[in-house]
């Protein structure tokens, strides 16, 4: 049954706002990091990147485990909210202490004294970040997705302005640290002002044990995912120099930053929808197919734009040294598209309460990924990046197998959606490449040619999405909370 035009228009508007709100977070980080790369040499960029990678582990743990428990637990609201607050705050504070203790030893290992001060300053923000995560999870539990994204949108507008202003006037890794503090303080304040809930000084020990049991698998899984995703950066920093790390992080930031513009908001929608289906005792087959197709269309479209136009953009805006990172950018853009299996596995397993499966799978994936890093690193950045992309494809197939076995789910509709979406993405990339070549043959000015090419990418992308919607592999239902 086709929804009435008003309802369909409202869904489109809400979907666009949600994507812009969460996508703006990735755009803000991408713009600020690219601006930093414009002013900094790859070696300095690499120092800050290593510090951010270490802090990212704590941030990753903050937004999983107890965070998922808040969203999915069927227990009484006040007990869940109070207990989970103190568990999350303890996680953030404990992580901060570990980072502070490790700061100087890591600076010695990577032979970069500025790394220690950057790590210490970033670590001290983690207890505040745990409060931010609690507020976001509470809103998602209430299915107040629009309010959540409104806070996020406002926070990122402020963050973008502050970040650009700081870097423009103060080209230093400490400007990037100050940007992260400003962004965090704004978001936490907005969340607390926009919601009624406040934690009390009570902790249900029985519920805390349940939360820890539930979260253990997810934490293990995220640690393994972290090792797989950032192992290459750390190996480069230890085996080579911060210059190679800077180049790899730059290529990774361009690829993952652009694709995360859509992948991250879709992750929030998936967590909410799978969690709601799990609490209601419903099957996940519709959600699997819905997100497999929709996420592939969106991330694949952005990856196609990266493959066609990234080198032109870097040549115009950045120091020539960063062109060496382009092969990394291409490979990791492909990796983002091929990672649909793990994207689906985690929210489905969390909604089933079977997080241990995710931990074991991600442990296996981390071992394979790290082995690929060590095997490929001696052959250069390009081999290292494409090894990561190939590993991602294999792990996606493994994730589909685990999903099928885990809940006796029918995964063929999801695989069909992914396959059709991937064919559409490849067709879009070919048309986009032909368009770029035609523009460069007719336009001498590279800046005008790039602008015209990106405008064509938007127009052609909207057409591709319309075709995907007609084929039912791109669904607006994926954008609801």
267-290 confidence digits (pLDDT tens): 878 888 888 887 777 778 888 889
Question: What local confidence, expressed as pLDDT, does residue 438 receive?
Answer: 94
Radius of gyration for the chain, computed over Cα atoms and rounded to the nearest angstrom: 22
Question: What local confidence, expressed as pLDDT, does residue 198 receive?
Answer: 83
- Token pair for residue 378? 């001696």
User: Which segment, 11-20, 61-70, 317-326, is predicted with the most confidence on average?
Assistant: 61-70
At residue 3, does pLDDT exceed 60?
no
At residue 2, does pLDDT exceed 60?
no
Going by pLDDT thresholds of 50, 70 and 90, the confidence category of residue 140 is confident
* Rounded-to-integer distance, Cα 391 and Cα 410, Å: 24
At residue 201, does pLDDT exceed 90?
no
Cβ contacts of 128 within 8 Å, gap of 6 or more: 92, 184, 185, 188
Question: What local confidence, expressed as pLDDT, does residue 1 receive?
Answer: 46
Question: What local confidence, expressed as pLDDT, does residue 251 receive?
Answer: 80
Average per-residue pLDDT for the chain: 82
Q: What is the mean pLDDT of residues 318-340?
A: 84
Going by pLDDT thresholds of 50, 70 and 90, the confidence category of residue 5 is low
DSSP state of 143: T
Alpha-carbon distances, residue 224 vs 33, 254, 370 (angstroms): 25, 23, 10
First to last CA, the chain: 21
Tokens 């040619």 sit on residue: 449
Question: What local confidence, expressed as pLDDT, does residue 268 receive?
Answer: 77
At residue 331, does pLDDT exceed 60?
yes
Q: What is the mean pLDDT of residues 196-222?
A: 81
* Rounded-to-integer distance, Cα 331 and Cα 111, Å: 29
- CA-nearest of 31, 18, 16 to 257 is 31
Question: What local confidence, expressed as pLDDT, does residue 278 receive?
Answer: 77
Instruction: Name which of 49-58, 120-129, 216-225 the model is least confident about.
Output: 216-225
pLDDT tens-digit readout, 38-84: 777 767 777 777 788 788 888 888 887 888 888 888 888 888 888 88
* Rounded-to-integer distance, Cα 290 and Cα 475, Å: 6
Alpha-carbon distances, residue 10 vs 28, 140, 147, 293, 463 (angstroms): 26, 20, 16, 22, 20
At residue 255, does pLDDT exceed 90?
no
Q: What is the mean pLDDT of residues 384-410?
A: 84
Neighbour-count burial for 331-369, b at 16+ CB within 10 Å, e otherwise = bbbbbbbbbbbbbbbbbbbbbbeebbbbbebbbebbeeb
DSSP reduced 3-state for 268: helix
* Rounded-to-integer distance, Cα 178 and Cα 165, Å: 11
Tokens 């920093």 sit on residue: 237
């Amino acid at each position: 049954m086709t929804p009435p035009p008003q309802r369909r228009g409202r869904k489109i508007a809400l979907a666009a706002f949600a994507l812009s709100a969460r996508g703006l977070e990735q755009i803000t980080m991408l713009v600020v990091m690219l601006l930093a790369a414009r002013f900094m040499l790859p070696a300095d960029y690499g120092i800050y990147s290593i510090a951010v990678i270490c802090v990212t582990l704590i941030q990753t743990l903050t937004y999983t485990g107890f965070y998922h428990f808040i969203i999915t637990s069927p227990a009484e609201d006040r007990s869940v909210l109070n207990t989970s607050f103190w568990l999350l705050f303890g996680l953030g504070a404990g992580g901060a202490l570990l980072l502070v203790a490790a700061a100087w030893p890591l600076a010695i290992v990577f032979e970069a004294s500025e790394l220690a001060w950057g790590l210490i300053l970033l670590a001290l923000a983690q207890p505040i970040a745990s409060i931010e995560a609690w507020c976001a999870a509470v809103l998602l539990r209430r299915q107040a997705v629009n309010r959540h994204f409104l806070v996020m949108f406002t926070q990122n507008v402020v963050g973008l302005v502050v970040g650009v202003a700081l870097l423009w006037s103060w080209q230093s890794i400490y400007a990037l640290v100050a940007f992260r503090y400003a962004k965090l303080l704004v978001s936490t304040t907005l969340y607390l002002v926009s919601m009624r809930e406040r934690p009390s000084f009570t902790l249900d020990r029985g519920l805390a044990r349940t939360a820890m049991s539930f979260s253990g698998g997810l934490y293990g899984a995220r640690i393994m995912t972290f090792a797989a995703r950032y192992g290459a950066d750390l190996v480069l920093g230890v085996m080579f120099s911060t210059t190679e790390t800077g180049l790899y992080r730059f290529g990774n930031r361009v690829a993952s930053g652009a694709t995360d513009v859509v992948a991250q908001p879709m992750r929030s929608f998936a967590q909410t929808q799978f969690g709601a289906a799990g609490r209601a005792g419903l099957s996940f087959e519709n959600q699997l197919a819905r997100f497999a197709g929709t996420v592939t269309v969106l991330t694949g479209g952005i990856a196609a734009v990266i493959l066609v136009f990234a080198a032109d953009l870097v040549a115009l805006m950045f120091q020539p040294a960063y062109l060496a990172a382009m092969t990394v950018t291409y490979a990791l853009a492909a990796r983002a598209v091929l990672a649909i299996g793990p994207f689906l596995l985690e929210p489905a397993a969390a909604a089933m309460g079977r997080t241990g499966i995710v931990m074991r799978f991600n442990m296996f994936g981390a071992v394979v990924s790290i082995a690929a890093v060590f095997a490929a690193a001696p052959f250069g950045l390009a081999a290292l990046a494409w090894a990561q992309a190939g590993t991602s494809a294999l792990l996606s197939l493994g994730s589909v197998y685990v999903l099928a076995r885990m809940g006796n789910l029918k995964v063929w509709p999801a695989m069909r959606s992914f396959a059709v979406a991937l064919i559409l993405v490849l067709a879009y990339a070919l048309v986009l490449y032909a368009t770029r070549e035609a523009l460069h043959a007719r336009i001498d000015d590279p800046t005008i040619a790039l602008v015209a090419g990106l405008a064509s990418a938007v127009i052609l992308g909207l057409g591709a999405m319309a075709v995907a919607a007609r084929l039912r592999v791109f669904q607006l239902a994926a954008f609801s909370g």
